[in-house]
Every structure is written in structure tokens, then in C-alpha cells.
């Protein structure tokens, strides 16, 4: 422990916050991502762990962090081949700044990995401004060995947060629908993975068609729709136990579930004799409250982060448009008025924007607008972009993109993400095709 001067370092940082000389402006649209160096993390003493020795873990953690930062589009991790110095353990808290300046790194992340006596590991994460030689932040993170990647994500979140002024989002997960096979008999399984695609695993076996998984605020429960027993209804999946439970034995199709921010209830849609309305289901009492009564299709409900309002889509006015109502169903008001059809509205975790799918001109696009309907901006455009979900900090939107199929070949379905600026569109790697992504809250 003597080799971890971090506690003191952290205290001094908090006591005297550095003025923000080094800053990534995330709102203007990044033309020049910040050059950043993330050299392999050092270790005070090479020690074996169940996930490999601490020096190997140090190298892997640095790679995870560099990958996280690069994926945001805001940072450009420098090629380790260009490094002119190696970071030994003493350098972690006292880097050789001149050698980082020679390769034009603006920011430097160093770290140290230590195996603890209780079987956990600790990552010391340091962030420096290379030119002012200032330590911008430093923090220790401890976790069990199997969850070592989370330590790296938390370090990446610290860097992101310190340099952008926004909360990070790397320590989070994605649940989505993994797809394979011809479209006429598509096999769909729930799958979960870390935000960066690691730790991928399937949650359901593909026997039943499953759709639209959504995280509960506690990140441990997922609401989704399944065609089990040929009765399409809403279920909840417990990630820890693997149990699947029907939320209510309703006589009709129930679908489009989404949790309330307090996790105690969820909104879902139910079809009755051809008419679909939105209901709130209290999870404890299983009591169902009808929120909409229009003869049109009312569906795809999503709560505002403060739980007072619900955004949803309805075709009550002729075509699909976005509406907002109070959480009790009162005050229903249309907010989308542009050309084309608007669907799948999702409220940002920051509360300031609503993401949606817009259909028009033969294309499907992802866009955002303010909760009052103003400030509409389209972020993507393709044959079929659909189903946005927000990163926990409300900066990035993930969605799925389906290509055109021919009779003999199914079009690709893949997960994609795009920055709120509309820049940095990138495909998320999945083992098979993917759709219906849902981003978890931060795992803290």
C-alpha cells in the first residue's frame, strides 16, 4: 500500500481543482479529436490473478480505456508504437512529460494495477495535461478480478468526465436482440454485453421470438416482449438469476414495455379488439391503469427522467406522431409537426431531448427534438434506421440499421451509434445481427 500515494493525490486535487486549460468541447462537433496517450499501466509488483498477472492486466486495461475514448469520437489515442518512453511504476505519479510532448500528446493517462490480499484488484487512474504538466485527476478503483474491465471503464469515465465536463458512459451495458436466419423464420435471442461489446452472452435460447428489451433503473432487470406459447406478452428477465416472469396474464397482446424512473412501475401497450392503448402497470400490486383511450394506435411510451411525463406515439391524427402527456394520462399534446411520420420516442436521461425514428422520403432516420417539439435535428439517414436508445449521459444514441433484403439474402441488421452532434456514426460489433438495443444506466 505504501506504493499507492493516490489517496493524498486525490485529496489535493479536490482541494485545489485545476483550472480547465485542457478541455474537449463536445457541442461544436469535433473536427480534431484530442490526441491522448494511454500507455500500458504499471504494477508495483507483478502478481498472478485469476484474470492473468497484474502487468498483463495493466496492458489490457490501457487498451480498454484507449478503445473507450476513441469510440466517443472526441479523443484520438496515439499509437503505442510511437511512444518514446516506457511508464514504469514510479512514472505513474511523476510522468516524463517532455517525452509525451515530443509525440504531441495533449493528455496522458497513466495507471497502476495492484492485486490485493482479499482477492480484489485496484486500479490507480491518473490524468495529466501534458503541456502544463498538471495532474488533472487521480482516483483509485477496486473490484473483483472477474470484473476487471469495469475498472478500466471507470477510469475512462473519469478521463472523459474531467476533459469534457460531462458524466461518462463507458461503465454501462447494452441489452439487445441478437438475430440470425432468413427473415421469414428469423431466430431472435436476448443478448447482453458491455458497452464496448465485451462479455457478450445470450440470455434466451431462441425458441421463442423476443423483442424490445428495456433495462430497469437497477440494471438487474429487463422488461421485454416474448411470443412464448404463441401469446405475445411482456415479461421481465432477472439478469442475476436468469428467471423470466410474466408481468401480467392479460388476455390480449401486451408489448412496448418501459420502466418508470423509480422502477416501481412500467408503461406498456395493450391491444384490445384492434385498438392499442398505453397502460401503467404497478409492479408490486400488478394493478393496471389505462392512460390513453384514443381509438388510434397509442404505443412506444417512455418516461421523462423525473417521472412526471410520458412521451409516446399515436396515429390518432392520421399518421404516427409524437405526443407528450402527464404521467397520469392527462394533458395529452402532440409535439411533432414536421413532414413524414414520427415513431419510437425516447426521453433523454438528461431530460432535455427526445430521440425518435422519422420515416419519410423512403428513408428511416434517427433524430432528436426538445420535449416541446422544437429544435428538431436529424442525426442519421438510411434505408431503415430505427429504435434509438440513449447513453446514460445523454450524449450518444444507439439504434439499429436494417439493410434492404433480396428474396435470396436477408439484409443486414446491425447496431450503430451516433453522437448527439450527428458525427461519429459507427457500427457496434456483435457476433450475429442485432436490433432493438437498450443502453443501461451507469453501473455504479
In angstroms, what is the minimal distance from the CB of 406 to other proteins? 6
In angstroms, what is the minimal distance from the CB of 245 to other proteins? 21
End-to-end CA distance of the chain: 25
Beta strands in 195-340 (DSSP E): 201-202, 210-215, 221-226, 233-238, 244-246, 254-259, 265-272, 275-282, 288-290, 298-303, 309-314, 321-326, 333-334
Q: Which is closer to other proteins, CB of 88 or CB of 360?
A: 360
In angstroms, what is the minimal distance from the CB of 340 to other proteins? 12
Q: Which is closer to other proteins, CB of 76 or CB of 186?
A: 186
**∠ at Cα 411 (406, 413), nearest 5°?**
165
Given its phi and psi angles, is residue 387 left (phi above 0), alpha (psi -120 to 50 degrees) or beta? left
In angstroms, what is the minimal distance from the CB of 168 to other proteins? 30
Cα–Cα distance between 266 and 93 in angstroms, integer? Answer: 48
Counted residue by residue, the chain has a size of 444
Q: Which is closer to other proteins, CB of 195 or CB of 402?
A: 402
In angstroms, what is the minimal distance from the CB of 227 to other proteins? 8
**Cell numbers linked to 432:** 450475429
Q: Which is closer to other proteins, CB of 284 or CB of 362?
A: 362
Closest CA to 100 of 123, 84, 117, 76: 84
* Interface positions with other proteins (CB under 8 A): 182-186, 188, 209, 211-212, 227, 230-232, 253, 255-256, 269, 271, 273-276, 297, 299-300, 313, 315, 319-320, 343-344, 357, 359, 383-384, 386-387, 402, 404-411, 435-436
- Contacting residues for 438 by C-beta, under 8 A, at least 6 apart: 174, 175, 176, 212, 213, 214, 215, 222, 389
Q: Which is closer to other proteins, CB of 244 or CB of 321?
A: 321
**∠ at Cα 415 (412, 417), nearest 5°?**
135
- Contacting residues for 243 by C-beta, under 8 A, at least 6 apart: 237
Q: Which is closer to other proteins, CB of 24 or CB of 335?
A: 335
Q: Write the secondary structure of 392-420 as one string of H (helix), E (strand) and C (coil).
A: CCCCEEEEEEECCCCCCCCCCEEEEEEEC
In angstroms, what is the minimal distance from the CB of 190 to other proteins? 15
Q: Which is closer to other proteins, CB of 116 or CB of 404?
A: 404
Q: Which is closer to other proteins, CB of 47 or CB of 211?
A: 211
Q: Which is closer to other proteins, CB of 265 or CB of 402?
A: 402
Cα–Cα distance between 354 and 348 in angstroms, integer? Answer: 6
Closest CA to 293 of 325, 247, 260: 325
In angstroms, what is the minimal distance from the CB of 192 to other proteins? 19
In angstroms, what is the minimal distance from the CB of 342 to other proteins? 10
In angstroms, what is the minimal distance from the CB of 433 to other proteins? 14
Amino acid at each position: 500500500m505504501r506504493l499507492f500515494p493516490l489517496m493524498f493525490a486525490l485529496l489535493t486535487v479536490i482541494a485545489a481543482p485545476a483550472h480547465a486549460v485542457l478541455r474537449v468541447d463536445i457541442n461544436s462537433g469535433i473536427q480534431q479529436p484530442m490526441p491522448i496517450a494511454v500507455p500500458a499501466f504499471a504494477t508495483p509488483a507483478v502478481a498472478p490473478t485469476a484474470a492473468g498477472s497484474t502487468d498483463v492486466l495493466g496492458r489490457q486495461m490501457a487498451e480498454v480505456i484507449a478503445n473507450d475514448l476513441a469510440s466517443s469520437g472526441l479523443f484520438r489515442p496515439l499509437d503505442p508504437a510511437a511512444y518514446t518512453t516506457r511508464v514504469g511504476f514510479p512514472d505513474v505519479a511523476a510522468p516524463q512529460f517532455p517525452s509525451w510532448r515530443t509525440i504531441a500528446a495533449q493528455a496522458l493517462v497513466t495507471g497502476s494495477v495492484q492485486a490485493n490480499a482479499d482477492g480484489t484488484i485496484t486500479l490507480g487512474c491518473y490524468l495529466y495535461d501534458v503541456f502544463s504538466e498538471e495532474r488533472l485527476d487521480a482516483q483509485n478503483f477496486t473490484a473483483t478480478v472477474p470484473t476487471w474491465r469495469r475498472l478500466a471503464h471507470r477510469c475512462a469515465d473519469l478521463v472523459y468526465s474531467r476533459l469534457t465536463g460531462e458524466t461518462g458512459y463507458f461503465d454501462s451495458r447494452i441489452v439487445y436482440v441478437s438475430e440470425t436466419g432468413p427473415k421469414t423464420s428469423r431466430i431472435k435471442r436476448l443478448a447482453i454485453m458491455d458497452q464496448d461489446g465485451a462479455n457478450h452472452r445470450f440470455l434466451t435460447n431462441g425458441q421463442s421470438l423476443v423483442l424490445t428489451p428495456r433495462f430497469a433503473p437497477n440494471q438487474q432487470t429487463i422488461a421485454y416482449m416474448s411470443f412464448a406459447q404463441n401469446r405475445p406478452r411482456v415479461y421481465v428477465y432477472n439478469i442475476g438469476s436468469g428467471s423470466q416472469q410474466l408481468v401480467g396474464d392479460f388476455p390480449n397482446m401486451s408489448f412496448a414495455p418501459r420502466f418508470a424512473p423509480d422502477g416501481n412501475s412500467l408503461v406498456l401497450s395493450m391491444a384490445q379488439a384492434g385498438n392499442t392503448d398505453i397502460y401503467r402497470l404497478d409492479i408490486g400490486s400488478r394493478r393496471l391503469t389505462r392512460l390513453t383511450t384514443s381509438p388510434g394506435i397509442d404505443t412506444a411510451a417512455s418516461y421523462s427522467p423525473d417521472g412526471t411525463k410520458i412521451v409516446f406515439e399515436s396515429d390518432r391524427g392520421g399518421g404516427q406522431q409524437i405526443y407528450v402527456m402527464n404521467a397520469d394520462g392527462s394533458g395529452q399534446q402532440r409535439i411533432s409537426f414536421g413532414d413524414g411520420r414520427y415513431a419510437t420516442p425516447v426521453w433523454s436521461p438528461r431530460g432535455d431531448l427526445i430521440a425518435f425514428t422519422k420515416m419519410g422520403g423512403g428513408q428511416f432516420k434517427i433524430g432528436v427534438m426538445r420535449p416541446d417539439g422544437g429544435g428538431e435535428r436529424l442525426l442519421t439517414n438510411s434505408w431503415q434506421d430505427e429504435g434509438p436508445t440513449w447513453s446514460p449521459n445523454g450524449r450518444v444514441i444507439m439504434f439499429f440499421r436494417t439493410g434492404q433484403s433480396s428474396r435470396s439474402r436477408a439484409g443486414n441488421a446491425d447496431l450503430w451509434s451516433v453522437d448527439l452532434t450527428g458525427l461519429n456514426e459507427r457500427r457496434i460489433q456483435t457476433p450475429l445481427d442485432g436490433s432493438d438495443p437498450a443502453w443501461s444506466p451507469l453501473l455504479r
